[in-house]
Amino acid sequence: MLTDYHTHTERGPYTVEWLTHFLDTAKARGIEEYGVSEHAYRFKQTAHLLDNPWTRERRTEDLDEYFGMIQAARKAGYHVKFGIELDYIPGTETDLEAFIRSYPFDYVIGSVHWLGDFGFDLTEMKGQWEKRDVKRTYDEYFSILTQMVESQLFDFVGHPDVIKVFGYEPEDEVFLQNWYEKMAESFAHNHSIIELSTAGLRKPVGKLYPAPKFLEACYQQGIPIVINSDAHRPEDVGADYDQAITLANTVGYKELVTFNQRQRTFQPIG
């Protein structure tokens, strides 16, 4: 079994015709469970969950149109899961929970992309990294990620160490290992699932998310995984899965998680 639940069709219209480009790539690459997980900040229905100048300019879509595309695809005979990627902002838990319950999602991805007003993975804000202490920024990121996991609102954690996206990484390996182990313990305590993502291979950092030692710490704590591409283009669906599967197998993983109406099932990888 191979999955790709973390994909974004946002560069085209919410139509079955556009979606089939993603589905065709998934089929060609042996993806048996495919799902779309649009960024929630794009929808008018989520303005109360994350509002800043950057998201305000991009809040142009209607979530009901997105859901309508999924329903139309299913009616046409396509097997496609309905997901969403939500930005976790501390203090919004009550509103997040109410929103999640308002749509029949198959799964909900929890991700951290914002540290206050710093969108750390945005090209437009990359210059701010030069003014920041890298270790303190990592402390802030992992602290917020811990809060997100403790909320137990999400079905899996998106790209757990996406903070390294532009290649700004602490040289202190002990510092990183301590965080990896702390996060793995938090994942275990909160019954979390994490994403093994190939997206980082297409980013400046040129690495999988999470780092091998991070994944090893998670495996030692019995943390389940999903394997995803975070594709924003049809051609990136299922991209570089050979590397992800090799890492998963090397660490010891033999199974991944599939979702249906937010219920998890374990399947053998491959």
- The DSSP code sequence of 22-43 is HHHHHHHTT-SEEEEEEEGGGB
* Regions of the chain where pLDDT drops below 70: none
- Does the predicted model carry a pTM greater than 0.95? yes
pLDDT at residue 251, rounded to an integer: 98
What span, in angstroms and rounded, lies between the C-alpha atoms of 215 and 197?
A: 11
pLDDT tens for each residue of 173-223: 999 999 999 999 999 999 999 999 999 999 999 999 999 999 999 999 999
Q: Which domain holds residue 72?
A: 3-268
Among residues 259, 263, 229, the alpha carbon closest in space to that of 79 is found at 259
Number of domains in the chain: 1
Dihedral in degrees, nearest 10, Cα atoms 247, 251, 255, 261: -70
pLDDT tens for each residue of 228-241: 999 999 999 999 99
pLDDT at residue 149, rounded to an integer: 98
- Match 């945005």 to its residue by tokens: 122
Alpha carbon 12 to its chain centroid, in Å, reads 20
Q: The domain that contains 71 carries what CATH number?
A: 3.20.20.140
Q: What is the mean pLDDT of the chain?
A: 97
